[in-house]
Amino acid sequence: MEEKKPAQNQTSYMSLGMCLGISIGMAIGSAFGNLVLGMSIGVCLGMCIGSLIDAKNRKNDEESTEAENEQEKETEIEKDEV
């Protein structure tokens, strides 16, 4: 039988990046007198940074899952041999 793995807490860093980017962009935009431009640049940069972090985390999760699967196969082979 296969054991079900508990659900992992998934956090979307792209949405978090957008929120931080818009707030930082508003501050910079108000300092330079162009709030709309500051907000739009902040959102774009926040989305880019957030999606890069998401991609990195997804890659790390896949690698750890593959390593766990290989380890499970090795233990099953060892049990069969005994």
pLDDT, tens digit, for every residue of 63-78?
788 777 777 777 777 7
Domain count for the chain: 1
Q: Is residue 5 part of a domain?
A: no
Q: Is 66 left (phi over 0), alpha (psi -120 to 50) or beta?
A: alpha
Give the confidence band of 24 by pLDDT, cuts at 50, 70, 90.
very high
Mean residue pLDDT across the chain: 83
Is residue 50 in a domain?
A: yes
- Residue 36 zone, left/alpha/beta (φ > 0; ψ -120 to 50; rest): alpha
Tokens of 2: 């296969």
Domain that includes residue 72, residue range: 14-81
* pLDDT > 80? residue 6: no
